[in-house]
């Protein structure tokens, strides 16, 4: 029962969605790496394979955190410090689990999975969602700005008078 719950929790679902495609794709990748590690651990795979998969997982996580932090910095996101603090805590905890795994502690692997499963669940649904909403709003705002700055209405469409004849609104005889 507990194993079933863990397996279900290790899968990315729309309940984890942040609605920023590149972030959601990276989250899916992290969940996939977690599932692969879980399979290796439960089938008592070779320690070399477990080691490689753990490295793959931690590399995915680090690249993802760094990516989110770059996006937040570029967007001048107000809660960057709070968000990064959560990443830093996870970096530290994951590092401790990996060290214990390397020292041969068998329960460190399953503990790493448990920790990351609940951490990701909490972090993606709150901190990452807040960041996603901010990035989406900012991107929408930038689109509007680009549209307003780059396109004059007279360039975007053909003006016609009541007879259906085209005219230039800036130099037309009606004076508007």
* Binding site residues, Fe ion, CB under 5 A: 68, 128
Question: Considering beta carbons, is residue 76 or 148 the nearer one to Fe ion?
Answer: 76
As beta bridge partners, residue 175 has none
- 57 or 128, CB closer to Fe ion? 128
Shortest CB 175 distance to Fe ion, Å: 56
Least distance in Å: CB of 150 to Fe ion?
33
Closest contact distance (angstroms) between CB of 137 and Fe ion is 17
Name the closest residue to Fe ion (Cβ): 128
Q: Give 87 or 109: the residue with its C-beta nearer to Fe ion.
A: 87
What is the sign of the dihedral through the CA atoms of 89, 26, 31 and 122? positive
Q: In this complex, which beta carbon is closest to Fe ion, that of residue 95 or of residue 169?
A: 95
How near is the Cβ of 113 to Fe ion at its closest, in Å?
17
Contact indicator for 26, 35 with CB cutoff of 8 Å: no
Tell me the CB-side half-sphere exposure of residue 117, using CA atoms within 13 A.
18
């Amino acid at each position: 029962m507990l194993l079933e719950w863990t397996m279900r929790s290790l899968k990315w679902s729309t309940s984890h969605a942040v609605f920023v495609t590149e972030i959601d794709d990276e989250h899916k990748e992290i969940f996939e790496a977690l599932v692969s590690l879980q399979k290796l651990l439960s089938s008592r795979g070779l320690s070399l394979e477990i080691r490689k998969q753990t490295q793959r997982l931690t590399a995915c996580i680090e690249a993802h955190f760094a990516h989110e932090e770059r996006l937040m910095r570029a967007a001048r996101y107000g809660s960057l410090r709070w968000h990064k603090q959560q990443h830093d805590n996870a970096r530290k905890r994951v590092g401790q689990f990996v060290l214990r795994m390397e020292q041969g502690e068998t329960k460190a692997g399953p503990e790493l999975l448990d920790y990351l499963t609940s951490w990701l669940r909490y972090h993606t649904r709150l901190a990452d969602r807040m960041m996603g909403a901010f990035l989406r709003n900012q991107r929408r705002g930038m689109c509007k700005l680009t549209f307003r700055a780059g396109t004059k209405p007279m360039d975007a469409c053909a003006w016609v008078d009541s007879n259906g004849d085209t005219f230039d609104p800036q130099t037309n005889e009606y004076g508007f």
